[in-house]
Homo-oligomer: A and B are copies of this chain.
């Protein structure tokens, strides 16, 4: 039976403490403890919550958001932050950006972002995006662009207002990018993506003309979900994900929710006729999960125990899903184990056929079903269009046609209806302009990190062939995970790889892989 009671943790007496930095740390840690509760409410909503509980759950999420908003905005917190900053600047000033300075800088950045957006605008955005998501779900199946477009316009307009509040140096869309990939600007991203596109399109043409064809049917047999679950636990444990500090559950769309570095929740989804679906989403979320589990205990409950950006986060998931998980080295070890679980379906399948099947390249209409190569082209199309929309070079009413033209040009496929075209993704309805690019940035960073890992561990391929993955996990932990937000994404890439972010690592890796698989 339940009983309502209060729980206390004895807190230090603030009046007795002279150290503003320590005071601030305690306040920040409490904020992050509350954010843990918020994360649990949303994880539970996607995994455990019964069907009728949605309305009550929205109230809990909104009430806790309000508490968090008040806390972040509190003038008292602002004063403590200012005092702590003065203290650290005076007493511990060093040339470099040490961890205390990084913490202060990052926390101030979060807080300023919240303070800059008027509550009325924040409320309007939350309300409108919530409504637009519903409208999207209702109109998409019917290709009802007439009803959907006015809502998309509203969302765009509110996000443009938000950009003005946040401020920017280059163009307004930079303010969007900066929220997901701190420091990223259109002036940097456009040439990166242009180069990548110029490298990927010729590669795609070579594959189109290649003699070999993938036997994708071997992945579409009947695979018992119970056995898939057992196999997924194995691959997750082997890559070093700690199931005593996390879970793997089922949800409609796979995701990772780090409640706390020792409580990292992954999800996947199973279909009997789709072996790679659950398998690669488990590897993918497992990569996210290792990042979330890899922060330093002394930083728990603060910005230094958080991912620095969505692009870096995605680099970790893509590295495990693709660089590791779609390599023939990986399946040298795991295909025999997989065959033990599914002898009827896979006993006669060769390593070569299996690897080709999981790497099959086919230009298609739908992003979430795309292969490792064309996925990036889906993203680049979205980047070009959303940037044009944001800056009013493209009107929402012309989006359907523009989308069609781009898909024809870049992917060589014909979009027949909006639900398989610009209405396929929920992102824009949620106001997530500037978010799509982080997926391909993740692929780029991932390839660049993996190239550095190869250099650092010359026998990496042999290790993977033996199913020995922990040295790689530890290298990623030491080079990337442990830093949290100490370095910006660009600084981190330079620190780890010695180079600026460059799409050549991704295109080289893809070129090499497909050359071998497709024999061109």
Contacts and interface: CB of A to CB of B under 8 A. Distances in A.
A9 interface: yes
Nearest to A180: B3
A59 B1 contact: no
Nearest to A245: B52
Given A2-B258, A257-B2, A258-B2, A53 B180 contact: no
- SS of A interface (majority): helix
Contact of A60 (B33, B288, B317): B33
Kindly name the residue among A29, A37, A51 whose own CB sees the greatest number of chain B CB atoms within 10 A: A37
A271 to B, nearest CB: 22
A48 interface: yes
Nearest to A297: B55
B57 A1 contact: no
A300 B260 CA distance: 31
Given A44-B40, A63-B34, A57 B260 contact: yes
Interface string A99-127: 00000000000000010000000110011
Given A37-B41, A63-B34, A53 B245 contact: yes
A318 to B, nearest CB: 11
Interface in A199-218: none
* Count of chain copies: 2
Contacts of A40: 37, 40-41, 44, 60
A39 B7 contact: no
Interface residues of A, number: 71
Interface string A31-61: 0011111111100100011111101111111
Contact of A66 (B8, B50, B55, B247): B8
A192 to B, nearest CB: 20
B56 A300 contact: yes
A439 to B, nearest CB: 9
A249 to B, nearest CB: 8
A175 interface: no
A471 to B, nearest CB: 23
Nearest to A247: B50
Interface of A: 1-4, 6-10, 29-30, 33-41, 44, 48-53, 55-69, 114, 122-123, 126-127, 180, 242-247, 255-263, 288, 300-301, 310, 313-314, 317, 435
Counting from the closest, the 5 A-B pairs by CB-CB distance are A53-B263, A56-B260, A33-B63, A9-B62, A8-B126
